[in-house]
Amino acid sequence: MTNVDIFQINGYVTPAWGSDTTPPEVTVLFPNGGETLGSSSQQTIQWTATDNRGEIAYVNIYVTFDGGANWDPLALFAPNTGSFTWFVQNRPTAQARIKIDVFDPSNNQAADTSDAFFTIASTATGRVPTTLRDFDMPGSQAFDAGPINSPAECRVCHGDYNLAVEPHFNWRGTLMAYASIDPIFLAAMDVANHDAPESGDLCLRCHMPRGWLQGRSTPTNGSQMLADDRIGVACALCHRLVDPIYQAGVSPVEDEPILAALRSVPTHYTSGQMVVDPSESQHRGPYEDPVTPHEFLYSPLHREAEVCGMCHDVSNPVFVRQPDGTYLPGAFDQPAADFGSHQIGPAERTYSEWFFSAYNTPQGVYNPELGGNRDYVTVCQDCHMRAVTGQGSGLPFAPERNDLPLHDMTGGSVWLTDVLDQFDPSVDKPALDAAIIRSRYMLQHAAQLELQQVAGQLEVRVINRTGHKLPTGYPEGRRMWLRVQFYDARNRLVGESGQYDANTGTLVHDSQIKVYEAMPVIGENIAPVVGLPANTEFHFALNNKILKDNRIPPLGFTNAAYNSVGAAPVGAVYADGQNWDSSLYAIPRRAVRAEVTLLYQSMSKEFVEFLRDNATTNGIGMQLYMLWAGNGMCPPETMASGTIGVTSLGSAGTPTRVIPSGATQIPPP
């Protein structure tokens, strides 16, 4: 055996020499006490280690920030090089020490710590004085989970046998596969880190989980991530997720020791609070009868929406909900006291929107257009990983299933999916092209239109056919609107609302326009502190107020439940259970026909220009802007459209229900 370091195989070999009971010797050289180190600075930890038989198998390196009460690993099973490059975490303290544990081939151990405390001083500059402690979350921490395997290893069995249904190809077309290289994410994280130092750590948890779990999230701009860390949200992460809320008789018994070993166990499914099985070979999934060559655990969690909620219900732990419903910063340089979506600042609430809807019921909602082989949909996976017929692997003995989840995680982002190869040529363009077709299909079945004339006005009703708000997800720059055009008998345009200029990417805000969007902003209560005007948009890490949220709720929502998690409508009134919204448009004189189009855009001109001007590190904001400007300026996608005859004389027209192209008639909501 050649080119293999002994520390990689130490646990699997027996020493060639006789019994050795003499421990090695180790001495910490730097930092050894009395030093002051700046946060995010690059330091070289130094030590010497010797053994009576001349061999050190491996080294573990730890740091304490609290005088030794807790020791956090910096490196495990590292070679004995005598030095280690450390990017100092922004955890200010006067009680830091380094500890070096060394092991010889007979597993004899020795340890040494810094002789005295050294100091870590925050050198971060931002609009608020946040540190890493402000963004600490329960769950698996660095080195708790072990390495996350590459998707290439999963492809051996789960790819290259049937592109229509196989997990690997369809996953390669998802933005989850490219969550690490998404330029919108990278630009928004850059702004967040400048506004609230270390807030990027919260982003990296879900966008670069492999590197985050291996301790490479400092600095929090992701600059120390390896190429292999940029695999997005991949197979080995999702299929090693553990339900943090243990249920005896339901959860795998293997979960108990995993949860018991954690410093802090999550009590909510939110904000990247993931627990990851430390076993690299033990995979989890939604079937009790898999036929597989690797170790496997049946996981009820993987049939539930909670597995999605861990990353799709995002809160800012810096902000704490007040009795009057507003949000103010908690104590800086401290973790939140409560990590639930009901208590800390809302950023995204997709899981909560679903949780308090009619979809979260045993039967769910009738929606065969989105459910694949299912007529009724309940959890996220039923629409975003719809049931198809096929085999989950290419192995000859793999069973064919009618409820095979298609690993496409389809959403509504057409534009980025289409242009991502221009930003990073390593993406799988054929898989992304296939995903575009599915995304357009989903958008075209997410809403319905009803058109009717009421006296001298046109009433346009938009019905939400999804299990969350429409639209949902990351709110900044994402919007849906109605374009209403009136024509006379000679087919001349005589009136319009919601005009979009494709040459400039500008949406014209006329007096009647209806734009469905959420607008998180900086509230009046913190504007003087952060040095920005009240109601300023797009500062993700500083937003503590929702100025507007008229997005259409799902069937079965209630105002009280949505208010409890910071997701209540703002600037719009929806009755409990209402999953539709109506708008009235004055019918111009001479109009005989109205054409109505419901449009969706995943990134507005205003947002991309903000990122261009504010995400300046390594020019990522400008790169994104040039990608936008050179590729249609994120043209809006048509979700539904319809035409109705009208008259300006005040006579009532016949109510018309407009079904999106390709859909089938469904029971009215």
Looking at the DSSP bridge assignments, the partners of residue 570 are: 549
The pLDDT of residue 83: 98
CA distance 355 to 538: 27
Range(s) of the domain holding residue 641: 443-553+576-658
CA distance 410 to 407: 8
Residue 382 has pLDDT above 90, yes or no: yes
- Extract the tokens encoding 344: 């800390």
The tens digit of pLDDT for each residue in 159-186 reads 999 999 999 999 999 999 999 999 999 9
The tens digit of pLDDT for each residue in 3-32 reads 444 444 555 554 444 588 999 999 999 999
Looking at the DSSP bridge assignments, the partners of residue 598 are: 482, 640
CA angle in degrees (0–180, nearest 5) for 381-386-388: 135
* Phi (first) and psi of residue 423, to 5 degrees: -85, -40
CA distance 638 to 550: 20
% of the chain at pLDDT higher than 70: 94
**What SS3 class is residue 571?**
coil
| 147: CB partners within 8 A, 6+ apart | 210, 214, 280
Amino acid identity, position 300: P
Q: 139 and 319 in contact (C-beta within 8 Å)?
A: no
pTM of the model: 0.93
pLDDT band at 661 (very low <50, low <70, confident <90, very high): very low
The tens digit of pLDDT for each residue in 437-451 reads 999 999 999 999 999
Q: According to DSSP H, which parts of 531-614 are helical?
A: 559-564, 605-614
Q: Is there a domain that residue 163 lies in? A: no
The pLDDT of residue 281: 85
Q: Which of 106, 121, 136 is the last residue of a domain?
A: 121
- Paired sense of beta strands 109-113 and 93-103, if any: antiparallel
**Cis peptide, bond prior to residue 183, ω within 30 of zero:** no
Q: Is there a domain that residue 537 lies in? A: yes
Number of H helices, E strands in the chain: 18, 31
The pLDDT of residue 5: 45
Calculate Rg over the CA atoms of the chain: 27
CA contacts within 13 A on the Cβ side of 461: 17
CA distance 599 to 480: 5
CA distance 323 to 307: 30
Q: Is there a domain that residue 274 lies in? A: no
- Extract the tokens encoding 441: 């299909």
| 439: CB partners within 8 A, 6+ apart | 410, 411, 412, 413, 414, 417
The pLDDT of residue 291: 87
Q: How far is CA 161 from CA 157, 158, 396, in A?
A: 9, 8, 11
| Average pLDDT score over residue span 117-122 | 98
The number of folded domains in the chain is 2
Q: Is there a domain that residue 55 lies in? A: yes
- Extract the tokens encoding 275: 């627990």
The DSSP call for residue 11 is: G
Locate tokens 């982002």: which residue? 413
The pLDDT of residue 213: 97
Residue 652 has pLDDT above 90, yes or no: no
Q: Residue 160: how many CB atoms within 10 A of its CB?
A: 12
Locate tokens 């026909």: which residue? 593
The pLDDT of residue 669: 27
The pLDDT of residue 18: 54
Q: Which of 89, 121, 153 is the last residue of a domain?
A: 121
- Extract the tokens encoding 492: 């001349």
The pLDDT of residue 439: 98
Q: Which of 104, 121, 138 is the last residue of a domain?
A: 121
List the CATH number of the domain containing 117: 2.60.40.10
Residue 375 has pLDDT above 90, yes or no: yes
- Extract the tokens encoding 340: 């639930």
The tens digit of pLDDT for each residue in 570-593 reads 999 999 999 999 999 999 999 999
The tens digit of pLDDT for each residue in 511-563 reads 999 999 999 999 999 999 999 999 999 999 999 999 999 999 999 999 999 99
Q: Is there a domain that residue 326 lies in? A: no
Beta strands in 90-211 (DSSP E): 93-103, 109-113, 118-121
Q: Is there a domain that residue 191 lies in? A: no
Of 151, 105, 130, 152, residue with least CA distance to 8: 105
- What's the mean pLDDT when you consider all of the chain? 94
Q: Is there a domain that residue 611 lies in? A: yes
Q: 281 and 387 in contact (C-beta within 8 Å)?
A: no
CA distance 574 to 552: 8
